[in-house]
Structures are given as C-alpha cells and as structure tokens.
Amino acid sequence: MNTISREALKLKIDNSENFLLLMCMSSEAFSLKHIPRSVCFNINGTYQCNFNLDEEIIVYCSGGECRFSANAYNILKSKGYNKVYHYPGGLADWENAGYSIEGSKV
C-alpha cells in the first residue's frame, strides 16, 4: 500500500498541487469535520469511482483503527486507479498536529 505522511500531505495542500483528497467516511462525519480540500467518499453506499484513472488520489478516514480508507484504497486500486495513496494517520493525526480543519464542529 502506497502511503503519504502528514507532512507530505500538508505540503501538497499548501502548494495547491493537483490531486483529489477523499475522506472515506459517512457524509454526516464529513459535515462535522474534515481536512481542507477534501471530498466525501461516502462509505454508506456504493463507491462511485468516476475519477480520471491517472488522477492522483489520496484517501483517509478518522485514523487509528478505522479501516474505511484502507478499504477504499483497495477498491480504487482494483478498479485500475494507478496513483492512489493512503494517509493512515487520518483526521486524528491531522488534528493532533494542530492543522486546520473544516466543518460544523470546528
């Protein structure tokens, strides 16, 4: 599994690089808080994978024991997406570093 560190993700966001950041949790969790630039990849339904196969995609969830992003990573890879990365620390790691978050519970 290709992973990305918190610092590398922060740098990509700060540099406005072109990539897709997917929060792999429910839309309710997404509305509460998420990393800036994220899009909700809702785990409560069928994954809709209508992205460009060559687009760089980074997936994350809450971190820790949460497996939603790892599952999404595997699904994307099985569908032929080549540039997929997993941010295993997830939202908890991002918040613990004091980085900004968005949502109604900020």
Residue boundaries of the structural domains of the chain:
6-96
Most confident of 8-12, 29-33, 69-73: 8-12
- Spatial distance between the Cα atoms of 59 and 9, rounded to a whole number of angstroms: 11
Identify which has the larger pLDDT, 45 or 7: 7
Q: How many CB atoms within 10 Å of residue 105?
A: 9
pTM of the model: 0.91
In CATH terms, the fold of domain 6-96 is Oxidized Rhodanese; domain 1 (3.40.250)
Phi, psi (deg, nearest 5) at residue 39 = -120, 140
Among 19-23, 27-31, 56-60, which is the least confidently predicted range?
27-31
